[in-house]
Chain A
Amino acid sequence: MGRAPLASRVIELDDSLEAVETYFLEQDWTDGLPIVPPTPPRVEAMLAGIDAEPELVVGKIPPLWGEATVEKVAINAVMAGCRPAALPVLVAALEAMLDPTFNLYGIQATTHPVAPLVIVNGPAGARLGMHAGSGLFGPGNPANATLGRAVRLSLWNLGGARPGAGDMATQGSPAKYSYAIAEREDANPWAPLHVSRGFGADESVVTVFGGEGPHNVNDHVSQRAPNLLAVVADTAVTLGSNVGWYLTQSQLLVVFGPEHAATIAADGFSRADVQRYLYEHARLRLGTRKLGGMWGLQDWPAWMACVDDAALLPTVSSPDDILVMVAGGPGKHSAVVPNCCFSRAVSRAVTRWPG
């Protein structure tokens, strides 16, 4: 039995790429970059990549609450340049973002420069051709670039997250164009991220993390885990960061470069050891917090405001709020991705594969 016909409106335009680009820009349907015209055959081909009916409602996308059917998501995936294999991952990512724990409304509308980082684990990474090596946060890999862009276009067109309107980010972030990566599971001396979050190693899982852009951790000299982790901890806490002000919603993602991960693991540090070390060392003094930032607006356990100004205060509620993964190529760099402090990471299995 074939699929139901497409429900979306068909727009007749001159048969030229320029005419389509101009029209879509005029309608404010793009991120400013050229798009692949979402013709009905292309949308049909995209829908063949997922085991779901086009009319299935994934959810309503804040802040303007547009209904995200699988068909509407597929249209945005075509526009972003995705291959059909990406659609089940894109839908799972949107489902994860619509979990109330993620607080997509806050992420879309805030003045903070937060963007949903999509992390793909398990067989889906290879299935889509995603990149987890050198320069993975940057340009060059079509699967990473188009998956992240499809997320953005869905949030833009279905959620109305346009700068100064639905998206009130004071300055925004380049991560709002596209922010999707995979993990170097082969280079992770510990369990992959999705396994640490309760999934099987052979499951395809997408994790969404409401993060700032990656903050670089440069360490070319440390040969012992504590030294290297001290540099990571220092990168993880800055007075200008949101993390640490709303403590129960604060999380840090640490993306260790493979060489840094190997150095730490060689000293016998487990993932839990890494999390514990960073929890204990990624701290600011109360007196430093009082200098500015969000002082007076914080949401802390009562004890944190009753201690001496010299007391070192935690940045997250527990070691488990420090997510650890491995990605990147050769070199002595890692990254810390602070979250926005009003969202928590959500993971979802990717299950809607066709056939």
Chain B
Amino acid sequence: MTTTAFEALARHEAHTLGMEGLPLLVIPHPLGGEPPERVAARAAAAVAQLAARLGR
């Protein structure tokens, strides 16, 4: 799981470690300094992404 700003780093490292196809759960950046309702919205979106990746 990563924010959009760190996605490139995450993908590069997954590639370096031989996990090219590692599914990443990407949420909008930033997470810090956000009000609780926006964090909750991102969490809800993340759950939907996770469910999609699990094929549900």
Report yes or no: A63 in contact with B9, Cβ–Cβ below 8 A: yes
Q: Which of A64, A164, A297 contacts B16 (CB 8 A)?
A: A64
Residue pair B17, A168 in contact (C-beta under 8 Å) = no
Q: Which residue of B lies closest to A170 (CB)?
A: B5
**What are the residues of chain B within 8 A of A168 when measuring CB–CB?**
5-6, 9
Write the A286-324 contact mask toward B (1 if CB under 8 angstroms, else 0): 000000000001000000000000000000000000000
Instruction: Check A65/B12 contact, CB under 8 A, given A168-B5, A168-B6.
Output: no
- Judge if A264 is at the interface, Cβ distance under 8 Å: no
Docked pose: A297 CA to B9 CA in angstroms: 23
The answer to whether A166 and B12 touch across the interface, beta carbons within 8 angstroms, is yes
* Structural contact, B13 and A64, CB atoms closer than 8 A: yes
Which residues on A sit within 8 Å (CB–CB) of B16? 64-65, 160
Contact call B9/A166, Cβ cutoff below 8 A: yes
Q: Which chain A residues in 142-177 approach chain B with CB under 8 Å? A: 160, 164-166, 168
Which B residues from 1 to 56 make CB contacts under 8 A with A?
5-6, 8-9, 12-13, 16-17, 32
- Say yes or no: A165 contacts B12, CB within 8 Å: yes
Residue-by-residue, is A237-248 near B (CB-CB < 8 Å gives 1, otherwise 0)?
Answer: 000000000000
In the complex the two chains form, what is the Cα distance from A230 to B8 in whole Å?
45
When the two chains form their complex, are residues B6 and A160 in contact, meaning their CB atoms are under 8 A apart? no
Q: Which residues of A contact B8 (CB under 8 A)?
A: 164-165
Q: Which residues of the partner chain B approach A109 to less than 8 Å between Cβ atoms?
A: 9
Chain B residue at minimal CB-CB distance from A167: B9
The reply to whether A65 and B9 contact each other, CB–CB distance below 8 Å, is no
Interfacial chain B residues near A164, Cβ < 8 Å: 8
**Minimum Cβ distance to chain B for residue A109 (Å):** 6
Report Cα–Cα, A297/B17, bound state, in Å.
30
Tell me how far the C-beta of A207 lies from the nearest C-beta in chain B, rounded to whole angstroms: 28
Q: In whole Å, how far is B36's beta carbon from the nearest beta carbon of chain A?
A: 11
Distance A160 CA – B12 CA, assembled complex (angstroms): 10
- How far, in Å, is B2 (CB) from chain A's closest CB? 11
A240 to chain B: closest CB distance in Å?
14
Residue of A nearest to B16 (CB): A64
Chain B residues whose C-beta falls within 8 Å of the C-beta of A64 in the assembled complex: 12-13, 16
Query: Residues of A contacting B6 with CB < 8 Å?
Result: 168
Of A65, A160, A165, which one neighbours B17 at CB under 8 angstroms?
A: A65
Q: In whole angstroms, what is the CA distance A164 to B9 when docked?
A: 8
- Chain A minimum-CB-distance residue to B6: A168
Which residue of A is nearest B8, CB measured? A165
**Shortest CB distance A94–B (Å):** 18
Give the nearest-CB partner of A296 in chain B: B32
- A164–B6 Cα gap in the complex (Å)? 9
List the B side residues contacting A65 at CB < 8 Å: 13, 16-17
Chain A residue contacts of B17, Cβ below 8 A: 65
Chain A residues contacting B9 (CB-CB under 8 Å) are 63, 109, 165-166, 168
- Residue of B at shortest CB range from A64? B16
Q: How far is the CA of A164 from the CA of B12 in the complex (A)?
A: 12
Contacts of B12 in A (CB 8 A): 63-64, 160, 165-166
Q: How far is the CA of A71 from the CA of B9 in the complex (A)?
A: 27
3 A-B pairs closest in CB distance: A64-B16, A65-B16, A63-B13
Query: Other than the known A64-B12, A64-B13, A166-B9, what 13 A-B pairs have Cβ atoms closer than 8 Å?
Result: A63-B12, A63-B13, A65-B13, A65-B16, A109-B9, A160-B12, A160-B16, A164-B8, A165-B8, A165-B9, A166-B12, A168-B5, A168-B6
- 22 intermolecular pairs with C-beta atoms under 8 Å apart: A63-B9, A63-B12, A63-B13, A64-B12, A64-B13, A64-B16, A65-B13, A65-B16, A65-B17, A109-B9, A160-B12, A160-B16, A164-B8, A165-B8, A165-B9, A165-B12, A166-B9, A166-B12, A168-B5, A168-B6, A168-B9, A297-B32
